[in-house]
Amino acid sequence: MDNKFLRHQLRSLHCLESDTIALLMDIFTKEPAMGRGLQWIGEDSQIRKAYVIADGWAIRYKLLEDGRRQILNFLIPGDMVGYFALLFRTSVYAVEPLTSLTVHSFTPDQMFDVFKQSPQLAVALSWLAAQAERQLDEQLVRIGRRRAKERLAHLFMELNYRLLRSGAPQPVAELFPLTQPLLADALGMSHVHTHRTFRELVRENLISLHGGKVRLKDTKGLSRLAGFDNSYLEQESLPSSTRAAFSR
């Protein structure tokens, strides 16, 4: 099962041979497609496999007792799901499709097998996980220290950058399946205030809304408004120290 988005990202690392990447793709199994809305992975559910998004969007989130929801991040094609959760018995978050969603899966056994054949792959997957953690850091800054308008603009810029990086074509990358309640729960705001802020951005001609999809109209403007610095998303290649250690 070839995952072209993941492949695209791994290739941009410039450290892996094509057939090493193929080795990884070989263990992927295509899972049945899921529909929007139904919960895929529940909080406290058992985790037996890890996944890679093949097509569609999803959210990873947590709920509080009283129903408040915090979306931790958005998952797009090429993103891994549950890689770390394999190290525990249970997940402490939930995952749910935002669109119709297809994913590839692999078991811990398969994973350890390829790691033995090619330790570089272990490093590459850790590197992907590290990348995701950087995004979490930035999500924290966004919510903790930016104001409503900046939050929206900054999130849009991140998603745009990630999509382009993953190999999505330009037009797709500027069109997000995001509703206002979703944005609210991702950015720690109420849906009403999210709406008003959203309208402001529309009024300023930075974004627009077409049938439940957000379109970015002026990425430069959004970037400036958000104070967006993409360095945390940059895919630097591995430092020589790491590469050297593994080619031994």
Residues that bind a second copy (CB under 8 A): 44, 48, 62, 64-65, 68-70, 72, 84-90, 92-93, 107-109, 111-112, 122-123, 126-127, 129-130, 133-134, 136-141, 143-146, 187-188, 227, 231-232, 236, 238-239, 241-242, 245-246, 248
d(CA 91, CA 100): 22
Q: How far is the CB of 129 from a second copy (least distance, A)?
A: 8
Query: Which residue type sits at 115?
Result: F
Query: Please, which residue, 64 or 87, has the CB nearer to DNA?
Result: 64
Positions that interact with DNA (CB under 7 A): 147-149, 179-182, 188-199, 209, 211-212
What's the burial of 60, exposed, middle or buried (CB within 10 Å: 0-12/13-18/19+)? buried
Residue identified by tokens 């290649």 is 237
In the complex with DNA, the residue whose CB is nearer, 22 or 192, is 192
Provide the Cα torsion 67, 72, 78, 80; round to 10°.
Answer: -90
Which partner, a second copy, DNA, none, binds residue 179 by CB below 5 to 8 Å per kind?
A: DNA
- Output 24 or 54, the one with its CB closest to a second copy: 24
Q: Which does 209 bind (CB under 5 to 8 A by kind): a second copy, DNA, none?
A: DNA
* Shortest Å, Cβ 171 to a second copy: 30
**Which two tokens mark 191?**
């849906």
How many Cβ atoms sit within 10 Å of the Cβ of residue 64?
Answer: 8
Closest listed residue to residue 111, CA positions, set 51, 187, 193: 51
Q: Which does 90 bind (CB under 5 to 8 A by kind): a second copy, DNA, none?
A: a second copy
Of 66 and 109, which CB lies nearer to DNA in the complex structure?
Answer: 66
Residue 122 CB, nearest approach to DNA (Å): 39
